Amino acid sequence: MSDICIEDRERRFPPGALKEADRMLAGSLRDFADREVIPVRRELDREARSGEDARFRELAVKLKKLGLPGAIIPEEHGGEGLLSYLAWCLAMEELGRGDASLAVSAAASALSLRPAALAANGEVLGRFAPRFLGEEGDFFASPALFDEPALGDDLNPDLGALGCKTRVKASGEWLVLAGKKAWCVNAGRAGLYCVAGLLGGGGVDGEPALVYCEAPAEGLEVRPREKAGLLPCSLGDIYLDEVRTPLSWRAAGPGEDAHLLREGLAFQRLLSAATAVGIAQGAFEEVLAFTSDRLAAGKPIRQHTVCAVMLADMAEGIQSGRDVYVNAALVLDSLEGLAARASASSLSRASLARAHCCRAAVEVTNRAMELMGSYGYVTDYHLEKYWRDAKMLQLAEVPAEQLKLDVARGYYEFSFLHPNPLYEELRKRKEAGARDRR
C-alpha cells in the first residue's frame, strides 16, 4: 500500500495508548489478514453460498495458532488471560479489514468464554479450554443471548424479565433450558453455547442466568439463516427443548451472572465497533487503489478535487470511529471490578462506540460505492463485500435505534416502564366505561 497510501499508521493512536504487546498483536494480525485472508475472501463468500466452509475452518485453525480466540482463557488453563478491551479491539479491526466474518466468529467464541474466565469457572474451563487451545482442528463457541432481533434490548433492567423468554430451571444436578435464541454467531459450528435465560418462575421474578451448553445435545436444534452480509460466519437460531446441562456449568451464580451478562454486552459492542472500523478501512484502501489506477481527463481520479474531498470524508469517518472505540476501550480497561465494567455508564460508552462506528462504516462504504460506480458492486472488486458486511454488522445483535437507548441510560435514568399518570388515568376511565356498559 506504500505507493497508494502514505498514511503513517503509528499516528492512528494517541501517544502512549498502545503497549508494545498491543502493537505486536495488531501487527501480527495485520500480516495474517494481508497474507492469508484477503487473497481468499471472495472464495469465503462463494463457499458460504454453496453451504461449504472448509476454507473458513482452515483460516480459523491458522488464527488459533496465532492465539485467537483462545487468548481469552486464563493462564492457569493454558491461555494468555487476554481480557483487555483495547487489545481485543485492535485485533478485531485488523481481522475486520481482512474479512468481517472471521472477526465476528472469533469475537463470538471469545465472548462465550469470557464469563467463565472472569468467574474462574474451573468446571467449564477445564472441559473446554483444551479444545480451544489444541493445535489440531477448530473449535467454535456461540453466545446465545437474544431471543429475537427485535428485542435486542431485552437484557436491560427495564426489559430483562419481559423480553427474555428463555427459561432455566434447576432439576437435581442439572439445569434445564427451554426457549429460542435468535441470530447466534457460529450456530451449527459451535461445540459450546453460552445461553442467557431467566432462572425461576419467569416474569418479573426471573433471575438472569448464563448457562453453558455443549453441542450436540438432546433437545438442541439449529436452524441456519440466509442473509446478505457476513456470509461465512454462520448465523442461525437455536431451539432449546428441555436441554439438560450440569448445574456447575452456570457461569457464576445469583447476582454475578447479571453483571457478567452486561459486561459481556459492553465487550461485544466494543468489538463490533472495532470490526466496523476495520471494514471501513478495508473499503477505503480498496477505493484508494481504484482511484489511483483509473484516469479521468488525463489524471488519476483521486487527483480531482471532488474525489479528494470524498476520500477525505471517508478518512474522517474512519479515524473518528477509531478514536471513539479506542477511548471507550481505555476507559473500560481503567475500571476496577466487574460491577463498574457492567454499569449503565460502561454499557452506554460501548453502545455509543458501536453506533458511531457502524454508522461510519456504512457511510464510508456508500461513499466508496459512489466513487467506484458500477465497479463497486461487481465481485471483481472486494468493495461490494465490505458494503454488505458493514450494513449487516450495523443491524446484527440489536437494532441501531434501540441501541441508542442504552446510550441514553449513561446520561439519565431512562425506562420503558416509567410510571405514566396519563396512561393510568386512561386505563381507569376505560375500565369504568366497561363497567357502565355492563
Q: What stretches of 34-166 adopt beta strand conformation (E)?
A: 141-144
Query: How many structural domains compose the chain?
Result: 1
Cα 252-257-258 angle, rounded to 5 deg: 165
pLDDT tens column, 145-179: 988 654 444 455 444 444 678 999 999 999 999 99
In a domain, 59, yes or no: no
The domain of 332 spans 257-408
Percent of the chain residues topping a pLDDT of 90: 78
In a domain, 419, yes or no: no
Q: Is the dihedral of CA 224, 229, 230, 232 positive or negative?
A: positive
CB count within 10 Å of CB 318 equals 24
pLDDT tens column, 244-295: 999 999 999 888 999 999 999 999 999 999 999 999 999 999 999 999 988 8
Give the C-alpha distances (Å, rounded to integers) separating 342 from 255, 261, 349, 410. 12, 8, 11, 12
In a domain, 376, yes or no: yes
| Cell numbers for 180 | 429460542
Contact 321, 97 (CB under 8 A): no
Q: Decide which of 379 and 437 is more confident.
A: 379
Distance from C-alpha of 330 to C-alpha of 311, rounded to nearest angstrom: 29
Q: Domain holding 276: CATH number?
A: 1.20.140.10
DSSP state at residue 6: -
- 56: closest CA among 67, 64, 48? 48
- 330: closest CA among 85, 99, 164? 85
Q: Decide which of 416 and 169 is more confident.
A: 169
In a domain, 352, yes or no: yes
What local confidence, expressed as pLDDT, does residue 205 receive?
56
Distance of CA 219 to the CA centre of its chain: 27
Q: Looking at the predicted structure, is the pLDDT value of residue 85 above 80?
A: yes
pLDDT tens column, 374-387: 999 998 899 999 99
Q: In degrees to the nearest 10, what's the CA dihedral of 406, 407, 408, 412?
A: 90
Distance from C-alpha of 428 to C-alpha of 412, rounded to nearest angstrom: 30
Q: What's the distance, Cα to Cα, between the start and end of the chain in Å?
A: 79
pLDDT tens column, 123-154: 999 999 999 998 778 999 999 998 865 444 44
CB under 8 Å to 144, separation ≥6 — which residues?
181, 184, 193, 194, 195, 196, 213, 238
Cα 183-186-191 angle, rounded to 5 deg: 125
In a domain, 231, yes or no: no
pTM: 0.92
Measured in degrees and rounded to the nearest 5, phi and psi for residue 207 equal: -110, 125
How large is the angle between the packed helices 41-49 and 54-65, nearest 10 degrees?
130
Distance from C-alpha of 76 to C-alpha of 262, rounded to nearest angstrom: 25
Q: Looking at the predicted structure, is the pLDDT value of residue 336 above 50?
A: yes
CB count within 10 Å of CB 375 equals 15
Measured in degrees and rounded to the nearest 5, phi and psi for residue 107 equal: -65, -40
pLDDT tens column, 342-376: 999 999 999 999 999 999 999 999 999 999 999 99
In a domain, 321, yes or no: yes
In a domain, 313, yes or no: yes
In a domain, 354, yes or no: yes
Q: Left (φ > 0), alpha (ψ -120 to 50) or beta: where does 342 sit?
A: alpha
How large is the angle between the packed helices 20-32 and 85-98, nearest 10 degrees?
20
